[in-house]
Amino acid sequence: MEIEVISERENPLLNRKEIRFLIRHEGPTPTVKDVKLKIAAMYNVDKNLVIVDKIDQEFGKMESKCYVKIYSDENTMKIIEKKSTLEKNRIEEEGEGDNNG
């Protein structure tokens, strides 16, 4: 998965960084989790402060346009983002979600 940043801007009013980029990939479209972990590693930030807002892929192309927001703190993120967006971006830790009885 190769990432090319298209635009990056600071949004001090909402306490976040907004990034638009292009992902070139082999096979299926990368998951929200894959993109989130890659961006967190690239910008050296906590993965829980990264919100993957959009992953758009054109049919037949091995590239996707993405829009990501990196918040400076968790409280601001929880106030601004919709509950469904927060749930979509939630990454379960090892052992979480294993309710086998």
Give tens-digit pLDDT for 5-53: 999 999 999 999 999 999 999 888 889 999 999 999 999 999 999 999 9
Q: Does CATH number 3.40.50.10420 belong to domain 2-88? A: no
Tell me the Ramachandran region of residue 100: left when phi exceeds 0, alpha when psi lies from -120 to 50, beta otherwise: alpha
Q: What gap in Å lies between CA 77 and CA 16, rounded to an integer? A: 9
Who's near 76: CB < 8 A, 6+ residues apart? Answer: 14, 15, 16
Tokens of residue 93, six digits: 């830790």
pLDDT at 91 over 90: no
Q: What gap in Å lies between CA 54 and CA 89, rounded to an integer? A: 11
- Map out the domains of the chain as residue ranges: 2-88
